[in-house]
Structure 1
């Protein structure tokens, strides 16, 4: 018989004694790769935090998305508007609004680290990258949060497209967004490499990594992983493992 607490009712996972650590905030931009936060990246991040004994809280701007995409046709829908915070709340479960908060309320003094999963919402909702490229502007609270955590020497985790946000306002950092050329690998290809050239133009350093890896900028406490910068039909476990590596290093640095 399966017992949630493990054999003899004992937990199979580590317990933390004393005062619980502060939850780790995620900054989301909606729900879905083409117009918000990628579902896999968001869920994988929460899974790995949970597996490692951490709590989490979701934040998003209380603003409208740039547009709403038909994810089957991969084109904008007509006459529909959606709020980033309401869409991001689809990721929350059980606690609802206790997990979902307005990004304007994210205070660096209340948290030990922050993670930005990827998805096209990074380029459309959290910044103007889709229109302005390397000269993009960031949503005001996104810029504030990134600068505050960096200034406070608290780790920042970034997946897939999210490095463009940090590189725009923290130009000396080192990141990975995967490969630098659109190469066909055994199980997928790299269709978004123009973004790599953009972050290099912003003054950031770029390091080639595989989807299952993470790059750690120890000096700036920035951890990044390629995630769905790599396009694959079936091999999502590589993305899962890469986000796991990113989360592991963010948690390690948050205790220093």
Structure 2
């Protein structure tokens, strides 16, 4: 039976939304593995809009769901429509949108909160015992989604790792092409562009993450 995987996006663009390479590689690998992917995003204003040519914050206002539709080619739904019972697994790519739109980690650090609709959707997968994959900065949300002592990685950045540990998770250093798995909680994480210096480096770990998530869904059959 074809596996169904939900993918939560956070906009479009590394500095203010989903990291496009990470999102596209995730969707590509899911398709290569024969899984059906459905994208979701919160229907909220972006934290801010960044000009990706200059790196400067612009005066524009944009919507996270609308911007995520750029990556999903229009096939994206409001995260409030995400029901864990309809899917086998959940994957959350990174990009600063995970820390600005899916949460306020970029501003609040260890005192951050996960966006309400995203938190409810993700926790439903945890409660159902279904696997979740998170990459790049997205594992900063893990403690609030899974609770204390969940093991995850963002690579090796000491400040981010310290904040993750302060929130109650356990950070484990990881090379760019590897994954960290919390077997008890069915969480798989990889550094992606927290460490990657090229799209090929990012793809190595993301492929491993997606492959492992698919394997875990098969174990549940």
Q: TM-score range by the shorter chain?
A: over 0.9
Runs of 4+ that moved beyond 3 A: none
Structure 2 distance, partners of 1:240, 1:119, is 15
Structure 1 distance, partners of 2:199, 2:3, is 30
Structure 2 distance, partners of 1:219, 1:82, is 38
- Alignment size in residue pairs: 218
Structure 2 distance, partners of 1:102, 1:29, is 11
> How far off its partner does 1:172 sit?
2.2
Instruction: Pick the aligned partner of 2:15 from 18, 22, 34.
Output: 34
> How far off its partner does 1:215 sit?
0.9
Task: Identify which range, 53-62 or 143-152, moves more after superposition.
Answer: 143-152
Instruction: Pick the aligned partner of 2:195 from 214, 217, 230.
Output: 230
Structure 2 distance, partners of 1:57, 1:71, is 26
SS at match of 2:48: coil
Flag the structure with higher helix content.
2
1:46 partnered with 2:27: yes
Question: 1:174 — aligned with what?
Answer: 151
Structure 1: runs of 5+ lacking an equivalent: 1-19, 181-192
> How far off its partner does 1:35 sit?
0.2
Question: 2:85 — aligned with what?
Answer: 109
Q: Is the contact made by 1:31 and 1:87 (CA closer than 8 Å) also made in structure 2?
A: yes
Instruction: Pick the aligned partner of 1:126 from 84, 91, 102.
Output: 102
Q: Is the contact made by 1:168 and 1:199 (CA closer than 8 Å) also made in structure 2?
A: no
What TM-score does the superposition give when structure 2 sets the normalisation length? 0.95
What TM-score does the superposition give when structure 1 sets the normalisation length? 0.82
Q: Is the contact made by 1:35 and 1:120 (CA closer than 8 Å) also made in structure 2?
A: yes
Structure 2 distance, partners of 1:75, 1:92, is 25
The one-character-per-residue Cα deviations of 1:20-75 (angstroms, maximum 9, x if unpaired) are 53521100010000000000000000011111111101100111101100112112
> How far off its partner does 1:167 sit?
1.9
Question: 1:21 — aligned with what?
Answer: 2
Structure 2 distance, partners of 1:179, 1:131, is 20
- Between structure 1 and structure 2, the one with the greater Rg is 1
Task: Identify which range, 199-208 or 100-109, moves more after superposition.
Answer: 199-208
1:176/1:30 CA distance change after superposition, 3 Å? same
Question: 1:136 — aligned with what?
Answer: 112
The one-character-per-residue Cα deviations of 1:157-182 (angstroms, maximum 9, x if unpaired) are 001000011223322211111114xx
Structure 2: runs of 5+ lacking an equivalent: none
SS at match of 1:212: coil
Structure 2 distance, partners of 1:149, 1:120, is 23
